[in-house]
Structure 1
Amino acid sequence: MSTQAPAAGLACGDRTSLLKALADKYKEAPRALGLASSGKAVFEVYTSKNGTWTILMTTTTGMTCIMAAGHSWEEAVEVAEGPQA
């Protein structure tokens, strides 16, 4: 896994290796994804039943970086929009 990153402090590497590490070490699986407004990156959220989470960014060049990670992940409960008219 390469540690070269486009910005200081980011851990970047081969996507396949990073996903394997998240699955093997933390038991994290994909939860959500979205395309950046620039169209030049995809952001993904991986979570585990133990509450760990990781946000990945994959660029159009194929580089994947860990943007953030942590613990105590909880699914949000959908909030009602208010009284029905």
Structure 2
Amino acid sequence: MKNSLFALPAALAALALAAAPATAQSRNCAPRDMVIKRLAEKYGESRQSIGVGQKGMVMETFASGETGSWTITITTPNGMTCLVASGQSYEVLAEALPDTGSDA
């Protein structure tokens, strides 16, 4: 599941990184351990991918192989984790890079 929908989380993470400080003040944020526990217990989601963004922020995608639910989070260096996006129909993709047409 690591390659699944990686472009979407990366794009959302880029948008979220700019808004994360403001978002950290909202109700969609909590200490990381609490968020991870809630995603596991309520939705059966586990971490499927991870990436490091600007200013030490970490983007993670959590998903359930059984239900197809998914959640994208951003964790700030101070340990606060914010929910960025969530949805259904999570799938694992293993797409090859497109042919660039060069013979080099």
TM-score interval, normalised by the smaller of the two chains: 0.7 to 0.9
Structure 1: which 5+ runs fail to align?
A: none
Which residue is 2:61 aligned to?
A: 45
Cα drift, residue 63 of structure 1: 1.0
The count of residues paired between Structure 1 and Structure 2 equals: 79
Aligned partners of 1:20 and 1:60: how far apart in 2? 19
- The percentage of counterpart residues that share the same residue type is 34
Q: TM-score, normalization: structure 2?
A: 0.65
Q: Distance in 2 between matches of 1:41 and 1:63?
A: 10
Relative contact order higher in (CA < 8 Å, ≥ 6 apart): 2
Q: Greater helix percent: which structure?
A: 2
Report if aligned partners of 1:10, 1:67 keep a CA contact under 8 Å in 2. no
1:10·1:66 contact (CA, 8 Å) conserved in 2?
A: no
SS at match of 1:21: helix
Per the TM alignment, residue 74 of structure 1 is displaced from its structure 2 partner at its CA by 1.1
Tell me, in whole angstroms, the C-alpha distance in 1 between the residues paired with 2:32 and 2:77: 12
Q: Which residue of 1 aligns with 2:87?
A: 70
Q: Which residue of 1 aligns with 2:36?
A: 19
TM-score, structure 1 as length reference = 0.78
